[in-house]
A = this chain, B = another copy of it.
Amino acid sequence: MSAKDADTNAGNRFTHFDADGNAVMVDVSAKETTARTATAQGRVVMQRDTLLKIKEGGFKKGDVLAVAQLAGIMAAKKTPDLIPLCHPLALSSVKVNLTLNEADSAVEIEATCKITGQTGVEMEALTAVSAAALTVYDMCKAVDKGMVIDAIQLMHKAGGKSGEYRADRPAGGRS
């Protein structure tokens, strides 16, 4: 399958299977090397008390977010180990940001990845968000087992033949 075909048909079929239905790591060798970026979001919804504990809970407030942020950055680098058909990539930038949304009683997470390469970095951004969310869960689970990881989605993507993508609005009722 040529890269041209892949892009032409991307809108109506799955590119991770070949003509015989076998899973493949898509051949990107004919694709253009361009600057690519992707931003993903997600959140961890929790009890108000848990959120306050993260915010105010003592001499070292913020540490839950700092550990989760680092976990997100490191996970972006492990994406090809986790997602079977992802290409190994030499990421040029990873940023992960966590903020407390008191109105929704949620920790909100945003990750942006960049590369100059032949394939996009959506999965790296989504993986960073997921790992940061799991780490928030891990660190707070002793006080709140009912937390929900929610609304993980691609917000923006640029670079590459398929052009720019921007999500209409965050999922999960976020304003």
Contacts and interface: CB of A to CB of B under 8 A. Distances in A.
A67 interface: yes
B93 A90 contact: no
A69 interface: yes
Contact of A150 (B134, B140, B143, B171): B171
Q: Can you tell how many copies of this chain the complex includes?
A: 6
Interface of A: 10-18, 20-29, 35, 42, 45, 53, 57-60, 63-64, 66-67, 69-71, 73-78, 80-97, 114-118, 122-123, 126-127, 130-131, 133-135, 137-143, 145-154, 157, 165, 167-168, 171-172
Chief secondary structure at chain A's binding surface: mixed
A106 B73 CA distance: 27
B123 A130 contact: no
Contacts of A127: 134
